[in-house]
C-alpha cells in the first residue's frame, strides 16, 4: 500500500482570459480539525454599545467560525467562511483590482475601447457565502465592491477552472507513483501549474458559449470535449 494513500491535498487558484494565479494555494494546510466540535451559543446584540450593523458583522464572524459538519465521503474538503474571507478573497480582490486598473488605463489610451466589467465566478461552495447575504464572505464582497457572476450549483462543466484542474490531474498521473511525500506532490503541482500556458487556458474558456448551448439542449447531461 502506498504510504500516501488516504491523504488529500486541496488547493485553489484563479484564471481569466489574460492571466492565471502565479501559484496554487493549498488551503487545508492550516485547517485540519476534521473532528466535529460543539457549536457555541449564538451571540446576542449589546443594545447599549453596539449598532445593528456591527452586530450583524459580529454574528457573521461567529457563524463563519463555527465548526463545520464532517462529510464522510469528502472528508477534509470543506473550508470555513472565515478562512475563505481572510485567505482567498483578498487574493481575488487584488487580482480583480489589477485587471480593472489595466482595463481603465487601456481605455483612456484608446477611447473607443469598450469598458469591461470584471466579475468573480465562484462554484457555490458553502464557504463562499453565496446563499447567505449576511455571511462573512458576502459582507466582505459587498464592502470591497466585488461583483460576483451567478453560477448554477454543481455545474463543473460550466466553470473553466475545472478544465485547468484536469490538465494538472492528467500531467501528475504520469509520475505520481514516484512521489513519496506530500511536499513532493505539492512541489510537482506547483511546477505543473506554472507550466500551463495562457493559450491553454484561453482554449478552454473559448468553449464556454458552446458548452452553454449544449447544456441548454441536454438539460444538464455531462458535457465532454477533446479539451475538457
pLDDT one-digit tens code per residue, 83-112: 899 989 999 999 998 888 876 665 555 555
Same domain, yes or no: 181 and 131: no
Does the residue 31 lie in any domain? no
Number of domains in the chain: 2
Same domain, yes or no: 53 and 125: yes
Same domain, yes or no: 196 and 111: no
pTM: 0.72
**Phi-psi label, residue 145: left if phi above 0, alpha if psi -120 to 50, beta otherwise:** left
Residue 107: the pLDDT is: 54
Q: Which residue has the cell 464572505?
A: 137
Same domain, yes or no: 85 and 159: no
Mean pLDDT (the chain) is 82
Which stretch, 7-21, 35-49, 128-142, 184-198, has highest mean pLDDT?
184-198
Q: Which of 138, 154, 170 is the last residue of a domain?
A: 154
Closest among 67, 74, 71 to 31, alpha carbons compared: 67
Q: Which of 154, 171, 197 is the last residue of a domain?
A: 154
pLDDT of 16 > 70? The answer is yes
Average pLDDT (35-53) is: 76
d(CA 79, CA 85): 10
Same domain, yes or no: 150 and 163: no
Average pLDDT (57-68) is: 79
Q: Which of 101, 135, 154 is the last residue of a domain?
A: 154
- Give me 220's grid cell: 444538464
Same domain, yes or no: 48 and 101: yes
Where does the pLDDT of residue 170 fall: very low under 50, low under 70, confident under 90, or very high at 90 and above? very high
Domain assignment of residue 185, given as a range? 1-10+155-228
The DSSP secondary structure of 151-194, one letter per residue, reads --TT-GGG-HHHHHHHHHHHHHHTTGGG--SHHHHHHHHHHHHH
Amino acid at each position: 500500500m502506498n504510504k500516501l494513500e488516504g491523504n488529500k491535498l486541496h488547493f485553489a487558484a484563479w484564471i481569466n482570459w489574460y492571466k492565471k494565479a502565479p501559484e496554487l494555494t493549498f488551503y487545508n494546510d492550516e485547517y485540519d480539525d476534521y473532528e466535529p466540535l460543539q457549536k457555541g451559543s449564538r451571540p446576542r446584540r449589546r443594545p447599549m454599545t453596539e449598532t445593528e450593523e456591527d452586530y450583524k458583522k459580529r454574528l457573521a464572524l461567529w457563524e463563519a467560525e463555527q465548526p463545520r459538519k464532517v462529510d464522510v465521503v469528502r472528508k477534509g474538503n470543506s473550508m470555513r467562511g472565515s478562512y475563505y474571507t481572510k485567505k482567498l478573497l483578498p487574493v481575488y480582490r487584488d487580482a480583480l483590482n489589477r485587471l480593472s486598473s489595466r482595463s481603465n488605463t487601456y481605455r483612456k489610451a484608446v477611447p473607443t475601447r469598450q469598458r469591461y466589467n470584471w466579475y468573480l465566478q465562484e462554484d457555490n461552495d458553502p464557504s463562499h457565502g453565496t446563499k447567505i447575504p449576511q455571511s462573512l464572505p458576502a459582507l466582505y464582497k459587498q464592502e470591497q465592491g466585488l461583483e460576483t457572476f451567478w453560477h448554477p450549483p454543481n455545474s463543473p462543466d460550466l466553470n473553466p477552472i475545472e478544465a485547468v484542474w484536469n490538465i494538472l490531474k492528467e500531467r501528475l498521473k504520469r509520475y505520481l507513483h514516484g512521489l513519496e511525500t506530500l511536499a513532493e506532490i505539492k512541489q510537482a503541482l506547483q511546477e505543473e501549474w506554472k507550466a500551463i500556458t495562457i493559450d491553454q487556458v484561453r482554449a478552454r474558456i473559448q468553449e464556454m458559449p458552446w458548452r452553454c448551448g449544449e447544456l441548454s439542449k441536454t438539460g444538464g447531461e455531462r458535457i465532454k470535449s477533446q479539451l475538457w
